[in-house]
Amino acid sequence: MIIQPAPLKPGETVGIMCPAGFMPKERTDACVEQLKAWGYATVLGETLSSTSTNYFSGTDHERAADLQRLLDDDAIRLILFGRGGYGMSRIIDQLDFTRFLKDPKWIAGYSDITVLLAHLYTRYGVTSLHAPMAGAFADYPDDNIYLPSIRELIRGRRMDYSVLPDLRNKMGEAVGPLLGGNLALFTHLIGTPSFPDMTGAILFLEDIGEQLYNIDRMLRQLKRSGQLEKIGGLIFGGFTDCRDTDRPFGQDVSEILQAIAAPYEIPVCYDFPVSHTGRNYALKYGVPVRLEVTAAGVRLQEKS
């Protein structure tokens, strides 16, 4: 039985902080204004005013302490991360979820935040949001159709997304927990206490900026570790800004994905709107879903 935090009510508070890479405080302005328009107050973490001069938004201790304050603040009902990058795996084991678990709140982010989303599901059975972060509100136009999906889910709406068909899709239907996230970070979790049981899972994956051989290597790690044999369905999101080596790898990213998926008699969806671009639906991590892949298109629906 998975635990879903309570829907946010008008006037409740959203906390924003950076648990990994540095992001200037001004990058939150558009997000703060949008959250205000949606009816929510905001609290900014200390990591958004960091004087750090290196990659991170503070030392490991400072980032962990900032996130711990937001986790323990009962008035904050959603923690929305500023950006990802790298750093969550350096602090995840320092966090204490005792108070959080008494009254779970929504956690939202993706990319490096995959570590926290998987950890909350695997260790505590709590769902969270694989969703655009605060920086995205500054990057994409006001008419972006994907950003409002955060608002809908935190208000209690069930996921129900339909997307156009893709000629590469493999037809079928499957039901299972929705798990995955950023390919590099999800693969990084194999062998740790944060990696979930993949039995029957609907696995979704996306990534950015990787060399083609790295994508192939990480997918083969999932295969060789036995994880792909366990799943009930597979969703490939955006694999953007992929790079080749000077001597070509020999397959493009689409061919790499298709080669990995080919042996499995499960529904497979390509180009689902989950990515490091503006095409990024908010997804509830770990909740039971139904994936239907037909000639007419793809539907991903949260089970009641």
Mean pLDDT of 67-80: 98
Same domain, 202 and 84: no
Q: Mind listing the pLDDT tens digit for each residue in 263-280?
A: 999 999 999 999 999 999
Same domain, 111 and 173: no
In a domain, 298, yes or no: yes
Q: How confident is the model at residue 46 (pLDDT cuts 50, 70, 90)?
A: very high
State the Cα–Cα distance between residues 199 and 289, nearest whole angstrom.
Answer: 14
Q: Mind listing the pLDDT tens digit for each residue in 122-167?
A: 999 999 999 999 999 988 887 889 999 999 999 999 999 999 999 9
Across the chain, what does the average pLDDT equal? 96
In a domain, 220, yes or no: yes
Domain-terminating residue out of 106, 138, 154: 154
- 141: burial class by Cβ within 10 Å (0-12, 13-18, 19+)? exposed
pLDDT at 73 over 90: yes
Q: How confident is the model at residue 101 (pLDDT cuts 50, 70, 90)?
A: very high
In a domain, 1, yes or no: no
User: Within the chain, how many helices (H) and strands (E) appear?
Assistant: 10, 13
Amino acid 10 reads P
Distance spanning both ends of the chain, measured CA to CA: 12
In a domain, 59, yes or no: yes
Same domain, 109 and 130: yes
pLDDT at 119 over 90: yes
State the Cα–Cα distance between residues 58 and 279, nearest whole angstrom.
Answer: 30
Give strand ranges (E) for the chain.
Answer: 13-17, 41-44, 76-81, 106-109, 129-130, 160-163, 172-182, 202-208, 233-240, 268-269, 283-284, 288-294, 297-302
Q: Mind listing the pLDDT tens digit for each residue in 200-231?
A: 999 999 999 999 999 999 999 999 999 999 99
- Paired strand residues for 142: none
Model pLDDT, residue 141: 82
pLDDT at 304 over 90: no
Structural domain harbouring 186: 160-302
For residue 46, the domain's CATH number is 3.40.50.10740
Full-model pTM: 0.97
Domain-terminating residue out of 154, 186, 206: 154
Domain-terminating residue out of 119, 154, 189: 154
Mean pLDDT of 24-37: 92
Same domain, 140 and 38: yes
